[in-house]
Chains A and B, each alone.
Chain A
Amino acid sequence: MANESLENGILELRHGVFVLAVLSRLDQEQYGYSLIKSLAEAGLAIDQGTLYPLLRRLEGQGLLQSAWRVETDRPRRYYVLSDEGRTFLARLKEEWTAIVSMMGKLL
């Protein structure tokens, strides 16, 4: 039970940073699978079931733009930050710094 709670706690903590992490990687356009790999290489494992709906939601909110492009004989959907997304990311980074500083004092 304690282990399950711990796993859920860690999962919730990670979920909290997904938006910031994903936006931080989309300064340059990327397609979904390359984004997953890029995040995994940085140490953040995010499964497809979470990432793709998240990308669509962020696009729906106007923070991302996407376009289909045909490469190596098959289409891929590329995502990149919109202008609104860039402003949003900058604001989120500030908030993140403040949270890290606050938590540093608390822990």
Chain B
Amino acid sequence: MNTNLIDNYVSEVGRRLPRKTRGDIEAEIRSILQDMLEERSQKAGKPVDEEMTLEILKAYGAPEKVAGTYLGDRYLIGPRLYPTFLLVMRITLLVIGILAAIGLGVAVYQTTLTPLSTTIQIILKANADFILSSFSALGSITLVFAILEWALFHAGKQVEFKGLPMDKEWDPHSLLKTSPSNVVKMSETILEIVGSCVAIVLFNFYPQIFTFGIFSNGDWYVGLGNAAASTLLLSEAFFHFVPYLTAVWVLTIILDIILLRLGHWNLITRICLIGLRVINIFIAALMLGAPSLLAITAASLTPALGSSEAAASLLNILNILVRVALGLAIFGNAVEIIRAISRLATNEIFPQFAGKS
């Protein structure tokens, strides 16, 4: 018997198998091949030779094919995670695209007086940055999902025979409970995710973008696009709140992704939304009580407006506008809380009244 050929074949199969089961499967395949050879030898009436062994190995199949039968279907990202993966990919591309467009706009605006060739270079560089950022972000997302798939695959093996927990928990009756007011609005949710991502990136990584300018008498006095004279629009007091706002934006993105995956609101997601809106109100109230959120001073406005009185009045108006904006934010969040509580009561706590209004 040509044991060398069989050893090589078995180890070719084995190296494609997980370490955990490799030894056992290798021993089994060796045993089967020996049985097959023994039978073939008896039928042929001659001892096992190399030709016979080769025939048997050919009949048994290519090592990768044999190993594949033991492995079953394996995915980098399987059907369970694929829809979420695709959704996250699309949103990420959209966010990167918007950020790249903003960056490009700022870069081109800041170089309006430079030759056309420089502007083209900036556009090309922005495109290259966009492509590189896309590859990097999409690669990271793929890696995270691949790890998740691997973890789910191994967790799923434990319950393979009983069916996946997510399959067991699914109850078609839930479809009867889904009232129109509980359906997640895709466009609004995606817009909120994109907005939150843009806000996170801009406020955390590009705070210098928020500058203030006045165009008067054919010249920029302070502002965006005039780097030499630019003045930060938002004060240090405002940026103290950015970590808290970032936390809320991140939580909002997570909730939105969950909502997009579920397709409808439920008790937990409504409570999460109420919690986030309460935090928003709390932060806005703290901002109202904080020192001025604007970094602009009357002195910086005076050259453009001609007099210090006019500058002081404009600054006063701007500060009032900020307070009005914060007041509106509190009001808007309060309205959303009331609406969420009302839908929670109608659809989750007293479902018998759902759809009657």
The residues of B with any CB-CB pair to A shorter than 8 Å are 25, 27-29, 31-32, 34-36, 39, 60-61, 65-66, 69-70, 72, 160-161
Contact = CB atoms under 8 A, between A and B. Distances in A.
Given A34-B35, A52-B25, 10 more contacts: A33-B31, A49-B69, A50-B69, A53-B69, A53-B70, A56-B70, A61-B161, A62-B161, A76-B35, A77-B28
Contacts, number: 47
A16 interface: no
Interface of A: 31-34, 48-50, 52-53, 56, 60-62, 68, 74-77
B27, B36, B60, B69, most chain A CB atoms within 10 A: B69
A76 B31 contact: yes
Given A60-B160, A68-B27, A75-B27, A52 B69 contact: yes
A83 to B, nearest CB: 16
B70 A74 contact: no
B65 A33 contact: no
Nearest to A54: B69
Contacts of A32: 28, 31-32, 35
Nearest to A76: B31
Nearest to A32: B32
Contact of B28 (A34, A49, A52, A61): A52
26 contacts: A31-B31, A32-B28, A32-B31, A32-B35, A33-B31, A33-B32, A33-B39, A34-B35, A48-B32, A48-B60, A49-B61, A49-B69, A52-B25, A52-B28, A52-B32, A53-B69, A53-B72, A60-B160, A61-B160, A68-B27, A74-B31, A75-B27, A76-B31, A76-B35, A77-B27, A77-B28
A31 B39 CA distance: 14
A33 B36 contact: yes
B210 to A, nearest CB: 60
Contact of A49 (B65, B160, B161): B65
A62 B161 CA distance: 9
Contacts of B29: 52
A60 B29 CA distance: 18
Given A48-B60, A52-B28, A33 B35 contact: yes
Contacts of A33: 31-32, 35-36, 39
A32 B60 CA distance: 14
B34 A74 contact: yes
A60 B21 CA distance: 12
Contacts of A74: 31, 34
A79 B39 CA distance: 20
Contacts of B36: 33
Contacts of A61: 160-161
A56 B160 CA distance: 13
Nearest to B35: A33
